[in-house]
Structure 1
Amino acid sequence: MYLKNVTPLIVVGRQRAGTRYLTEVLNSFDDVTIQGEIPNPVMRSLVKFIQESEKYYRGAAKWENPRRVREYQAWTEKKRDLIYAMWANTTQSRRLNPSPDCRYYGYKRPNNEFYFDFYEKHLADQKAVYVYCVRNFVDNYLSISSRWPDRTIEMVADDYLKSVEHYRKIKQAAPDRVLLFNLDDHIKYGFGYLDKNIIEKLDLDLKEDLRTYLAGMGAKNQTVNVSANPRREALTNEEEAYLLSRPALHTEFQKLCCDQSG
């Protein structure tokens, strides 16, 4: 692939919180290419492969043999291309070929904010930009449980709070490279929200015809397309009671909203 002068762009965050929609919007720009999702077992294998390769070449270079040092230097220069190739060729969907004008290149996968440290280390020469997708817990849970009925509210709640906590950590570590896409605000305020908080901050050229198209596209819920079950519209009494026992599910989301509006 040998992409030069591109910035890695990774769409992460909550499942059922607009990652697919946001990726479709970003891929509408000629200078952006976001590949599809990498299955979790494959992702773990890829990370292990990179880490073990890094360990070998770095260890060999410690012997201060000039040839080994050159091998390690060559590895560090090629490692970025290897990561880009993995994004292109290990996803569940068809590969997208970047245009000659590509400025942002990456992939999307919910929960992959947890690989932040990995990418910060192995893409150190080209720091990545991350877009974290989120929405309020209740709608997030109802959408997830409609798609995957075996996921209990306790399971989703624990995952939700861990994800939001990790967003705060990566935002603190890279404040200028971690953007927030709040699906609720996008639904409330329309395309202007996405334009202001994502498109403008990425300095993408939004031509009027593209603006008209994207504004009319809307964020569509995909649950009905991928699940035999209709989307749930309300919590059960037991789930309502559980929600009252975990006030952080509401307050932590509200903090994100305040951080962005402030």
Structure 2
Amino acid sequence: MSIRIDRTPPRTVIVGGPPRSGTRFVTDALNRHPDVAIEGEPHAAALRETLAYIDRMDAEMAAVGAKYWQDSRADIFWAAVRGAQKQGLRRDRVKAGVEGFKLPRIEHQWSRIHGIVGPMTFVFCLRPFPEHWLSIWNRWPEQKIEDVAALFIQSIVHAGSMADCPEITLVSFGLPQMAANGASHLSGIGNALNLADVDGWAQSIDQHRRANAADKFTCAKRTTLTPEEQAFIDAHPNIAAAYDDHWRRVDAPYR
């Protein structure tokens, strides 16, 4: 005899955005709420392989009409997220009403993931491009500014597409916006997730804490652009325009 225990399925939240834009800070902040259990960051390669496997199986199962596959694909996806973690997992997720994971640039895969997990809230982290570029260069000095700029704009375009999807609640997080508005900026995220005691949770977060350790940087930290980098940014006003347009689209409570 089997015993069936019914419980309300947890709501899904994914934290993404360009790297070095606050995804770890937001994840750590959300995990301080008792009703949230967000996994850390899975290895991107493992997630890509999992999505490719699900794509292949989608085609095979459609050919044979296997009805069970629709549920199995979500189980496989979440097993990959939890099994391919770079760091330890949240062990209390069984009690959580909100579950998910964080991965920079995962917004580039949003449509495929939405097709697997269904309705979700996506927290899109975004900072101005000059600061973003300097943080990228300090972590990965081999990166090229033109490549990073192209990915930055693509991330914003994908965020706009998510905002137009009726099954996705897009909420944005920005380090400058948090500096300007304090806890109310975090409260917007909590409200989007329907968390209890949002204001109390937001007030409990140390907004000056940075999640990533200094030993991750491979060279002396640089805080100003070179003349060549500034010339590149000046020659590509579409980068700043994309950033500004995104924040103009965001509802006022999240600014």
Fold equivalence (TM over 0.5): yes
Deviation at 1:241, TM superposition (A): 0.9
Which of residues 97, 105, 112 in structure 2 aligns to 1:111? 105
Whole-Å separation in 2 of the counterparts to 1:144 and 1:128: 28
Q: What code does the residue aligned with 2:173 have?
A: F
Residue 134 of structure 2: aligned partner: 142
Q: CA deviation at 1:129?
A: 1.5
Which residue number in structure 2 is paired with residue 129 of structure 1?
Answer: 121
Which of 146, 158, 162 is equivalent to 1:166? 158
For structure 2, which runs of at least 5 residues remain unmatched after alignment? Answer: 1-5
Cα offsets for 1:114-133 (capped at 9, x unmatched): 11111222223xx1211111
Q: Which residue of 1 is the match for residue 220 of structure 2?
A: 230
Question: Aligned partner of 2:24: which letter?
Answer: R
RMSD over aligned Cα, in angstroms? 2.2
1:204 equivalenced with 2:195 (yes/no): yes
Q: Quick one: which of 216, 241, 249 aligns to 2:239?
A: 249
Alignment: residue pair count: 247
Q: Is the CA contact (8 Å cut-off) linking 1:35 and 1:107 kept in structure 2?
A: yes
| Paired amino acid for 1:143 | S
Is contact 2:21-2:132 (8 Å) kept?
A: yes
Cα distance, 1:249–1:243 mapped onto 2, change above 3 Å: same
Q: In structure 2, which of residues 2, 23, 29 is the aligned counterpart of residue 19 of structure 1? A: 23
**Shift of the alpha carbon at 1:31?**
1.5
Q: In 2, are the aligned partners of 1:89 and 1:95 still within 8 Å (CA)?
A: no
Q: Distance in 2 between matches of 1:172 and 1:209?
A: 31
* Structure 1 position 4, deviation (Å): 5.1
Asked if the contact 1:146–1:223 (Cα under 8 Å) also holds between the matched residues in 2, the reply is no
Q: Distance in 1 between matches of 2:7 and 2:174?
A: 30
User: Which residue in the other structure is 2:3 paired with?
Assistant: none
Please give the secondary structure, in 2, of the residue aligned with 1:179: strand
TM-score by length of 1: 0.86
In 1, are the aligned partners of 2:121 and 2:169 still within 8 Å (CA)?
yes
State which of 82, 86, 89 in structure 2 corresponds to 1:88.
Answer: 82
**SS of match in other structure, 1:200:** helix
TM-score (norm 2): 0.88
Kindly state the Cα deviation for residue 204 of structure 1 after the two structures are TM-superposed: 1.0
Q: What's the counterpart of residue 250 of structure 2?
A: 260
CA contact under 8 A between 1:223 and 1:230: conserved in structure 2? no
Give the direction of change, closer, same or farther, for the CA distance of 1:236–1:5 in structure 2 (3 Å limit). Answer: same
Deviation at 1:3, TM superposition (A): 8.1
Amino acid of the structure 1 residue aligned with 2:225: L
Question: 2:243 is aligned with what amino acid?
Answer: F
Which residue of 193, 204, 207 maps to 1:213? Answer: 204
Stretches of 4+ aligned residues off by more than 4 angstroms: 207-212
- Aligned amino acid, residue 247 of structure 1: P
Deviation at 1:261, TM superposition (A): 5.3
